[in-house]
Chains A and B, each alone.
Chain A
Amino acid sequence: MRTISFSQATLEAMQEEMRRDPTVFVYGEDIVRQGGIFGQFKGLPEEFGDRIRDVPISETAIVGAALGAALTGTRPVADMHFADFIGVAFDEIANQIAKNRYMFGGQANIPLVIRAPDGISKQAAAQHSQSVEGWVQNIPGLIVVAPSSPATAKGLLKSAIRQNDPVIFFEHKVLYPQKGPVPDGEYFTPIGKAEIRKPGTDVTLVTYSIMVQKSEEVAMELEKEGISVEIIDLLTLKPFDTATILESVKKTHRCVVAHEAVVSGGLGAEIAARIQEKAFFHLDAPVLRVGAKDRPIPFSPVLENYIAAQKDDIRKAIYAVLYREG
């Protein structure tokens, strides 16, 4: 094990895959001249020449061309700069990338990765702070992943690049500088599998991305109060690992879902729905959801903190499913 940052971990994944396969290439805004806004592409231009490219500010072309490239025998990695800009390329994602393989009867694979830095960071306000996994959750044909640590970032990015299907890779901006242990040598984090971050017996806490560490902090604190929380890190948001969630809920009989995205229409709704469909009689309390209030992310730190889900919201939800006073 080594200790490296999240952005270094994604860089290693890119290096390893680009060395292995000459058809892997990456492009996006400001990734050559600037090394990416979080330094996550530093050093690639020196090693890989024109297989890493800066592009004009043309998100529609970035995503649409990734599809064309993938359909014709290469493995593009397209960087969205900010996940919020997926909106600019939404037709390409919803109507082209997600549908092409299916509507052409499986004639061609679409091995592409869309890297999408997301989440609340440094008071970037409404158009640079979103978690938009809910936008794409409703579209059949996409795989969506969200690492929570340097180790899962590297392992998931390598899996995403090797996947013969379109993968949206949501990477939380706050995670980039954070360091953590990463295995030596080559490894993969499997797509479609959740990981149990912390075993527990009283409440299942399903979460992902930045909220994993917040959940871990809350769980440590609650441990002192005698509450044992099982934390499931989803890692793959679509298709997510229902089996692991159900198994845990059947053990704990209580569940909270926590994400940074807004609650309405979020992943938590789908998770809660599946639990009540498949494990209703195992539940001792309603499944509760923790997420942002139904507003754009505001600028002023006071306002931002109010709208965003906090550790205290997770704690309160856990008390509530245990019918305890918070």
Chain B
Amino acid sequence: MPYQKKEFPNRFTALQKDAMQNLLRTMIRIRTFESRVEELFLNKKIPGFVHLYIGEEAIATGVMANLRKDDWITSTHRGHGHAIAKGAQTDRMMAELFGRKTGYCKGKGGSMHIADFSVGMLGANGVVGGGFNIAVGAGISSLIKKTDQVAVCFFGDGASNRGTFHEALNLAAVWKLPVLFVNENNQYASTTPTSFATSAERIADRAKGYGIEGYTVDGNNVIEVYNAASALIEAARKGKGPALLECLTYRIKGHYVGDPEKYRTKEEVQKHFVENNPITRYINYLKDKNLITDAEIDAIQAEASSEIAAAERFAEESPFPEPEDALDDLFSFSPQEFPEAVR
């Protein structure tokens, strides 16, 4: 589907070589984590459901490189990549997926509710479109406390059809909140193609209805995502209000691990994986510009592999919670203080 390209200032070129390589490092860490999670799930080490971010790494990476630790994000059911890019530790993430006591949510959340409030990651969300208004609320906090913190809401193409999308964008626009809405248009809402389920030609076009700026970028080009997010996040931080950034990407894996994927062909997936792999594309760019060597790439991959192996060991060696731990954490007070509340 064609779209109008917006030329954002190329702030990427101002980055040091290290920072450029760090974008690659983040993408490779996400890919390595997700690939291992897939294997572990199929080996029945991970219960429940997992939704993988493979093929979409450039979006979380390019956006998060423009955020501070005290900025906030809301995530989706496909949230591992967001958490890693925002600064969550992969060992505590893996422990959560394993249902262990040392996990971010002490085993109460799992993949769909992974969160790390210490780095402003306000949670994956099991309800599609559940994050919009949480991000809006974070933006309100910024206004009430008179800080310059920004909230970024990640959401899929399917979520743009929820009513929450409408109410959140309208309220954010009316109050000029510092919120960036980042759409990850991966072409499928579960099994339903975006072209079937979404009335607008481009999700970014919907911004016009709220009187805010909306742009579409190639979400598998980390440089494009970085530059667009840089401009829009800076504007939000300066009080210019919200914007909508649609990042076109492709969901390489099924909706969840185990999805029989009867709604598309293997050839379609393979074509995207070969021709539109965000990591390969970025490596090619960096090599072309002599910004990275093969040895450096190998070192980044080796580092990521050993990090994820260590995360897996940490998870596996961590204890499960005690059964009665299931009663804790509902309220700010303890069950002993208020026994009626946990009856």
Give chain A's interface residues, CB within 8 Å of chain B.
Answer: 22-23, 25, 50-51, 53, 55-56, 58, 60-61, 63-74, 76, 91-92, 95-96, 100-109, 140-141, 143, 163-165, 192, 239-243
Partner of B340, one of A68, A92, A140, A239: A239
Q: How far is the CB of B29 from chain A (nearest CB, A)?
A: 22
Given known A64-B168, A141-B330, contact A240–B340 (CB-CB < 8 A): yes
A72, B104: Cβ atoms under 8 Å?
Answer: no
* B141 in the interface (beta carbon within 8 A): yes
Partner of A102, one of B104, B108, B341: B108
Chain B residues whose C-beta falls within 8 Å of the C-beta of A76 in the assembled complex: 137, 140
Chain A residues whose C-beta falls within 8 Å of the C-beta of B142 in the assembled complex: 72
B330, A61: Cβ atoms under 8 Å?
Answer: no
Q: A25-B140, A61-B133 are in contact. List 20 more A-B contacts (CB 8 A).
A: A50-B143, A51-B144, A53-B175, A56-B167, A58-B171, A60-B167, A69-B137, A74-B145, A96-B134, A101-B332, A103-B108, A104-B123, A108-B117, A109-B332, A141-B330, A143-B331, A143-B341, A164-B332, A164-B333, A243-B340
B113, A68: Cβ atoms under 8 Å?
Answer: no
Distance, CA A165 to CA B332, complexed state (A): 6
Distance, CA A105 to CA B96, complexed state (A): 10
Partner of B329, one of A25, A71, A101: A101
Given known A56-B174, A106-B328, contact A192–B338 (CB-CB < 8 A): yes
A61, B171: Cβ atoms under 8 Å?
Answer: yes
Distance, CA A141 to CA B108, complexed state (A): 14
Question: Can you list 29 A-B pairs with a CB-CB distance of less than 8 A?
Answer: A23-B144, A25-B140, A25-B144, A60-B133, A63-B133, A64-B134, A64-B137, A64-B164, A65-B136, A65-B140, A66-B137, A67-B137, A68-B122, A68-B136, A71-B134, A72-B138, A72-B142, A72-B149, A74-B141, A96-B127, A103-B109, A105-B103, A105-B105, A106-B106, A108-B117, A109-B332, A140-B330, A143-B331, A239-B343
Chain A residues whose C-beta falls within 8 Å of the C-beta of B130 in the assembled complex: 64, 91, 95-96
Partner of A105, one of B74, B108, B343: B108
- The size of the chain B interface, using a CB distance under 8 A, is 54
8 residue pairs, one from A and one from B, having the closest CB atoms: A68-B137, A64-B133, A106-B329, A105-B105, A65-B137, A164-B332, A61-B167, A68-B134
Distance, CA A103 to CA B126, complexed state (A): 11
Chain A residues whose C-beta falls within 8 Å of the C-beta of B135 in the assembled complex: 68
Given known A104-B109, A105-B105, contact A72–B167 (CB-CB < 8 A): no
Chain A residues whose C-beta falls within 8 Å of the C-beta of B170 in the assembled complex: 56, 58, 61
B141 to A, closest residue via Cβ: A72
Partner of A103, one of B113, B140, B333, B340: B113
B330, A101: Cβ atoms under 8 Å?
Answer: yes
Within B165-215, the residues touching A (CB, 8 Å) are 167-168, 170-171, 174-175
Chain B residues whose C-beta falls within 8 Å of the C-beta of A242 in the assembled complex: 340, 343
* B72 in the interface (beta carbon within 8 A): yes
B133, A107: Cβ atoms under 8 Å?
Answer: no
Chain A residues whose C-beta falls within 8 Å of the C-beta of B343 in the assembled complex: 239, 242
Given known A23-B145, A72-B122, A240-B340, contact A104–B137 (CB-CB < 8 A): no
Given known A61-B133, A105-B106, A239-B338, contact A55–B171 (CB-CB < 8 A): yes
* B132 in the interface (beta carbon within 8 A): yes
* B115 in the interface (beta carbon within 8 A): yes
Q: How far is the CB of B49 from chain A (nearest CB, A)?
A: 14
B127, A105: Cβ atoms under 8 Å?
Answer: no
B122 to A, closest residue via Cβ: A71
* B37 in the interface (beta carbon within 8 A): no
Chain A residues whose C-beta falls within 8 Å of the C-beta of B113 in the assembled complex: 103-104
A105, B140: Cβ atoms under 8 Å?
Answer: no
Q: How far is the CB of B337 from chain A (nearest CB, A)?
A: 9
Q: How far is the CB of A302 from chain B (nearest CB, A)?
A: 38
Given known A106-B106, A192-B338, contact A68–B140 (CB-CB < 8 A): yes
Distance, CA A302 to CA B190, complexed state (A): 52
Residue from A60, A103, A141 having most chain B Cβ neighbours under 10 A: A103
B74 to A, closest residue via Cβ: A68
Partner of A95, one of B127, B133, B136, B149: B127
A73, B141: Cβ atoms under 8 Å?
Answer: yes
Partner of B137, one of A71, A101, A102, A143: A71
Q: How far is the CB of B133 from chain A (nearest CB, A)?
A: 3
Query: What sequence of 0s and 1s flags, for each residue 119-163 of chain B, a beta carbon within 8 Å of any chain A beta carbon?
Result: 000110111001011111111111111000101000000000001
Chain A residues whose C-beta falls within 8 Å of the C-beta of B167 in the assembled complex: 56, 58, 60-61, 64
Partner of B133, one of A53, A65, A163: A65
Partner of A101, one of B136, B151, B331: B331
Q: How far is the CB of A277 from chain B (nearest CB, A)?
A: 11
A105, B171: Cβ atoms under 8 Å?
Answer: no
Distance, CA A22 to CA B106, complexed state (A): 33
